[in-house]
A and B are shown apart, each in its own frame.
Chain A
């Protein structure tokens, strides 16, 4: 008679299952420890570096609000359910953005005036990190040196300099990206941001003092663990972190499309200056 465990698994069958669990947990990224064994199979460049090339996109609703949020009506009843904001778990570690009191007030003011101020509504470049988790894909083209990021939204893009650290000559919407490898993690230092970008549609904002360090780590061939540490003494009381997952587009015919949104925003931006019919 077979020795049955309460879970219907024979005694000896526990051994491989236990081994599988050990492997699973020891190779799980996060918690700061280095995996004891090589991570899952990831695509690699000829020199052995992980290869991030591909078409990626975040799921979830961080593009509405990077903090926890409930489902709620959108600003225009005409759009009905399609204009409403879905609920979502935040991507801010610890839940709250450590704003100074003045900055917290500014965020509320931003949200109140979102239709006038949100750069996304006006088709302005989204900045970093917002570009990475919008409701649009982005394409990574990884060479043996630099790495290009082409974002579908507003044809915004950046080329990550993987050579000697270069300071940006001027402040820009997309900032200046300098990358380096820390093991299998691509670490991108983003500085030279012009301070006009938001993090989401909820008025969460940055300034031209904001400094961001992004971490891209392939969890497996089709998932990137994305983290960004954000520092700005002028509006945050301490550095804070966001983390989310980026998914590879696997559709046979998926490709980066063109979303030149200027013409969709012109009547909004210039409407009061247009000749009345």
Chain B
């Protein structure tokens, strides 16, 4: 027999539902072109003003590599977009449901309100926009031998030490470009600009990218970091950011910095172009001569959403997954040793 809900449980459920409903409005159609009279706002010192807390939520779930059946087609048809909008609407209605049917399976994953949902359908068939087939170029043979750390997707990680886990699971970083690619949550990019300096506060793993735009040269090539050394300049209204000086062999370009790690020779060029009051075109060209046979470009929209804010992502501070994975693995070993005796 089922136990009746406790009052506390009902209150907690009500809070969760309120938070979800409040945080995520009903999905709507993709943004149309910005109002004709819109002009790029400028900072008081005359640079394009691209400040605000942007999110890549709208392309959550869009694959990095285009499924081959779409060929060279980057954008969905109107009908396909309508279908996707309807799916988002159904998902939204399910999110709002207070109860599940008695015969329905219920998972034991994190509560639904942890995740973000796209507010409107992504119009793209893939995040890769160049080459025209929407797929990352072939990897060089030497890169294929580079070991990728085990990640969250692996159900049976070695778990000898933290070194067996990805840099993301260890709460170190998702790297460049992993810190901006859309995933299930934490996609916020808060931009604050000073004269000659742009900062991008990336929500997940609390990255703070400092991008000088005053023409100073890169840091010496002997100073290397996970997030690299960024220098920016303005081309019209576009912020162009060149990043070099990566440590290399740390994070890759698949979700959350996973996949085959890129090399120390990687250079990325990002382009942030605000195209309306609440929409920005984001593109990143990844040129890694030690990993891919040729450069390629990933692009997706960033949007400003009412009420959206970055939350402090205290990942390492609360990394119980690491404690649990390691202690679980040791317990399994202990049991196996005991069974041998």
Binding site for B on A (CB under 8 A): 45-47, 51, 53, 119, 123-125, 139-148, 150-151, 155-157, 159, 169-170, 172-174, 196, 253, 255-258, 260, 262-263, 266-267, 270, 273-275
Name the one of B51, B161, B223, B322 contacting A143, with C-beta atoms under 8 angstroms.
Answer: B51
Asked whether B333 lies within 8 Å of A142 as measured between CB atoms, the reply is no
Asked whether B317 lies within 8 Å of A139 as measured between CB atoms, the reply is no
Answer yes or no: B17 CB below 8 A from chain A CBs.
no
Asked whether B160 lies within 8 Å of A275 as measured between CB atoms, the reply is yes
Answer yes or no: B197 CB below 8 A from chain A CBs.
yes
Cβ-closest chain A residue relative to B229:
A255
Interface centre among B43, B162, B170, by most chain A C-beta atoms within 10 angstroms, is B162
Minimum-distance CB pairs A-B, first 4: A273-B326, A258-B225, A150-B208, A46-B44
Asked whether B193 lies within 8 Å of A141 as measured between CB atoms, the reply is yes
Q: Which residues of A lie under 8 Å from residue B314 when comparing CB positions?
A: 124-125, 172-173
A275 to B160, CA, bound (A): 5
Asked whether A275 lies within 8 Å of B194 as measured between CB atoms, the reply is no
| Contact flag A274-B192 (CB < 8 Å), given A262-B170, A263-B170 | no
Asked whether A159 lies within 8 Å of B201 as measured between CB atoms, the reply is yes
Give a binary string over B195-225; 1 marks a CB under 8 Å from any A CB, 0 the rest: 1011101000111101010000001100101
Q: Which residues of B lie under 8 Å from residue A172 when comparing CB positions?
A: 311-312, 314
Q: Which residues of A lie under 8 Å from residue B309 when comparing CB positions?
A: 169
Asked whether B327 lies within 8 Å of A157 as measured between CB atoms, the reply is no
Cβ-closest chain A residue relative to B196:
A53
Name the one of B201, B225, B322 contacting A148, with C-beta atoms under 8 angstroms.
Answer: B201
Asked whether A157 lies within 8 Å of B317 as measured between CB atoms, the reply is no
| Contact flag A273-B330 (CB < 8 Å), given A143-B192, A255-B210, A255-B219 | yes
A172 to B171, CA, bound (A): 17
Answer yes or no: B240 CB below 8 A from chain A CBs.
no
Asked whether B226 lies within 8 Å of A258 as measured between CB atoms, the reply is yes
| Contact flag A141-B172 (CB < 8 Å), given A146-B192, A150-B199 | no
Asked whether B210 lies within 8 Å of A139 as measured between CB atoms, the reply is yes
A150 to B210, CA, bound (A): 8
Interface centre among A145, A174, A275, by most chain B C-beta atoms within 10 angstroms, is A275
| Contact flag A257-B170 (CB < 8 Å), given A141-B192, A141-B199, A173-B312 | no
Q: Which residues of A lie under 8 Å from residue B38 when comparing CB positions?
A: none
Q: Which residues of A lie under 8 Å from residue B205 when comparing CB positions?
A: 155
Q: Which residues of A lie under 8 Å from residue B172 when comparing CB positions?
A: 260, 262-263
Q: How many whole Å from B244's CB to the nearest CB in chain A?
A: 14
Name the one of B44, B171, B317 contacting A45, with C-beta atoms under 8 angstroms.
Answer: B44
Q: How many whole Å from B332's CB to the nearest CB in chain A?
A: 11
17 contacts between A and B (CB under 8 A): A46-B45, A125-B312, A125-B314, A125-B317, A141-B199, A148-B199, A151-B208, A155-B207, A157-B208, A169-B311, A253-B219, A255-B219, A260-B173, A262-B172, A262-B316, A270-B322, A275-B161
A157 to B194, CA, bound (A): 16
Q: How many whole Å from A271's CB to the nearest CB in chain B?
A: 9
Asked whether A47 lies within 8 Å of B44 as measured between CB atoms, the reply is yes
Q: Which residues of B lie under 8 Å from residue A47 when comparing CB positions?
A: 44
| Contact flag A275-B208 (CB < 8 Å), given A123-B316, A170-B311 | no
Give 13 new A-B contacts, CB below 8 A, not counting A125-B314, A260-B225: A46-B45, A141-B210, A143-B194, A146-B192, A147-B192, A159-B190, A170-B312, A173-B312, A255-B210, A262-B172, A266-B161, A274-B326, A275-B329
A125 to B199, CA, bound (A): 19
Cβ-closest chain A residue relative to B227:
A258
Answer yes or no: B5 CB below 8 A from chain A CBs.
no
A173 to B314, CA, bound (A): 8
Asked whether B312 lies within 8 Å of A274 as measured between CB atoms, the reply is no
| Contact flag A157-B206 (CB < 8 Å), given A45-B44, A273-B326, A273-B327 | yes
A192 to B155, CA, bound (A): 37
Cβ-closest chain B residue relative to A277:
B160
Asked whether A53 lies within 8 Å of B210 as measured between CB atoms, the reply is no
Q: Which residues of A lie under 8 Å from residue B212 when comparing CB positions?
A: 255
A46 to B43, CA, bound (A): 10
Asked whether B161 lies within 8 Å of A274 as measured between CB atoms, the reply is yes
Asked whether B193 lies within 8 Å of A266 as measured between CB atoms, the reply is no
Within B169-203, the residues touching A (CB, 8 Å) are: 170-173, 190, 192-195, 197-199, 201
Give a binary string over B96-139; 1 marks a CB under 8 Å from any A CB, 0 the rest: 00000000000000000000000000000000000000000000
A18 to B312, CA, bound (A): 53
Cβ-closest chain A residue relative to B19:
A169
A256 to B309, CA, bound (A): 25
A267 to B322, CA, bound (A): 12
Asked whether A270 lies within 8 Å of B326 as measured between CB atoms, the reply is yes
A109 to B159, CA, bound (A): 34
| Contact flag A174-B312 (CB < 8 Å), given A143-B193, A270-B326 | yes
A146 to B206, CA, bound (A): 18
Q: Which residues of A lie under 8 Å from residue B327 when comparing CB positions?
A: 273
Q: Which residues of A lie under 8 Å from residue B171 when comparing CB positions?
A: 262
